[in-house]
Structure 1
Amino acid sequence: MTRVSAPTQSPVLVAQDLSAVSAISMGVAVPLLTAFGQQLAILPTSLLSTQTEGFGQPASADLTTWLPATFAHWQAQQIQTHGVLTGYLGRNQIVDQLTEFIQRQNEQLVVIDPVMGDQGALYPDLPADYPDHMRQLVHAASVIVPNLTEAEFLTGHQVTATDTLQSLLPILDALQVQLQPDGHAIITGITLADQQGCVWLDDHHHVQFIGRPILAGHFFGSGDVFAALLTGFLLHREPLDRAIALATRGTFWALLDTNNAPRERRYGIVLSSVMAAIANYQQVGQFTPRLN
């Protein structure tokens, strides 16, 4: 059965950083969402010569004056968006500009990856009050996909143990109340037993977990792949639980390809298998890594 996408006469807004080198952030979101058949409105929040890890200090361009001019042009041309995916934004001013824009739109789906920290700390280039600004953006979200550190910054809750699903219920509850009505919080990067994956609340207020085998080492851009895949499946009106399962599966295929590729990981994620799987999904409704 061929899947029917959400209406595509208006584009999906993709707002995150764009690196000239490395398949991360916008460099993975654009091809993945395009493969899903989505028309896109691409909004780079910063332009970088490379990603920020593994290549020294990248050259960058400040786009804080370009964003409001772009929004004004879109408004003048009556360009409406029907969905949003955000990733790394990097500046309070950009977060605020994007929050204002989204609040003026009649968005069907707003997926926010509040990229701002890991391992208990904010990323070093972000101001201390960045979580306050991100919290305002999150209020407009249908779905958010923070890691545990970002969830703690958004809520003020400290999680001392993640060895049981029940231990994550309070922070999931605290996230849920910040979102749009019927919104969903998905915390990524959770390790249980020998798997790593994500947790969320189902319709019965039970904590659910889905994971994948843990691969050694760090993969630059894995969260960006998950967020883009999740957005693509939700735009195809997949139920949340199934969209999370499919996005987790596709992310693992991409990590396997990257793990086996003869290139340095700092160049980002290899998308060949997951792109083939999306093509198969578009054609026959089956998300498998190779066309048959």
Structure 2
Amino acid sequence: MKPVKRVAVIHDLCGVGKAALTNIMPVLSVMGIEACPIPTMLLSTHTGGFGPPEVVKLPGYIDRCSKHYEKNEIEFHSLFIGYLGTEENIEASIEFIKAQSAINIIVDPIFGDNGKCYSNFNDDYVEKIKGIIPFSTIITPNFTEASLLAGVEYEDSCTEEKIKSICGKLVKLGASSIVITSVPSEYSSLIGMAIYEEHELKLIYKERKNTSYPGTGDIFTSVLIGEMLRETNLYESAIYAHNFVSECIEESMKYDYPTKEGVLVERKLSLLIKIA
């Protein structure tokens, strides 16, 4: 039996900017996981600060990959579904899930931040992405995405009761376990993470950094998946991922370079290595 676990990653691929597959693949690899990319589109850079990127869309590619893998009896230990971007990719990802027997289906429903959808998404897309939630084992939205999916008004501060309410609404959509990142606190100096599993909510807060970088959510979910494949529970895996992202941000803040280029994840990858 092959000694390395395998994860299929349905996500976009950016050439420059340290986001999406550019972050995900090295993180999973250094954690001893085989990352198998299934790009939803190719971009010269990510979309946050470099101007309009060169984009190549890949309609039908997810479906063709799924059929090829099924023909060759290729299976995965986990599926990581990230940036989809189109209704076709949402539907194809659902069919991909149905064709697999993976234990964990992790969905990062990427479509917004800072209280609103990204410019290329709208309420219709939010409704469509809800269709994949019942097929997930874990969803990892940021607070904006969680609020929009739950149909509640976004606020810059949040109480524990509101987080519980949001998680309850996500469960009604079909979510099983939930990890919400970038959760605002009642105190402006703090930023947190909510972990909801088996009707139990746990909140973890840290000091808010003055600087933000693109791609940290992709790193977070990658580390979460890698650690869970080491048979660590969800709560401890989320803490491990949260701490690693903080390490990357703190390292990157030591250097004067444009934040649009993302965190210096390469300088911290060694922290993820565990000797078997």
Same fold (TM over 0.5): yes
Q: How many Å apart are 1:9 and its aligned residue?
A: 5.5
Distance 2:183 2:237 in 1: 18
**Structure with a larger share of its residues in strand:** 2
| Candidates 133, 141, 159, aligned match of 1:138 | 133
Distance 1:111 1:100 in 2: 15
RMSD, aligned α-carbons: 1.9
2:156–2:184 contact (8 Å) kept in structure 1: no
Q: How many Å apart are 1:35 and its aligned residue?
A: 1.0
Match of 1:248? 242
TM-score (norm 2): 0.92
1:62 aligns to 2:62 (yes or no): no
Distance 1:244 1:41 in 2: 22
Q: How many Å apart are 1:207 and its aligned residue?
A: 2.7
TM-score (norm 1): 0.87
Q: 1:269 to 1:176 in 2, by over 3 A?
A: same
1:91–1:126 contact (8 Å) kept in structure 2: no
Matches within 5 A, 1:12-161: 12-158=7-153
1:200 aligns to 2:195 (yes or no): yes
Structure 1 spans left out of the alignment, 5+ residues: 1-6, 285-292
3-state secondary structure, aligned to 1:49: strand
Give the number of aligned pairs.
273
| Candidates 250, 258, 268, aligned match of 2:262 | 268
Match of 1:288? none
Distance 1:163 1:10 in 2: 38
Structure 2 spans left out of the alignment, 5+ residues: none
1:164 aligns to 2:159 (yes or no): yes
1:224 aligns to 2:222 (yes or no): no
Match of 1:236? 230
Distance 1:79 1:220 in 2: 32
**Identity of counterpart residues, as a percentage?**
24
Distance 1:142 1:162 in 2: 28
Q: How many Å apart are 1:276 and its aligned residue?
A: 1.1
Q: How many Å apart are 1:175 and its aligned residue?
A: 1.1
Q: Deviations over 1:183-221 (max 9, x none)?
A: 211111112233212112355x44311132211122111
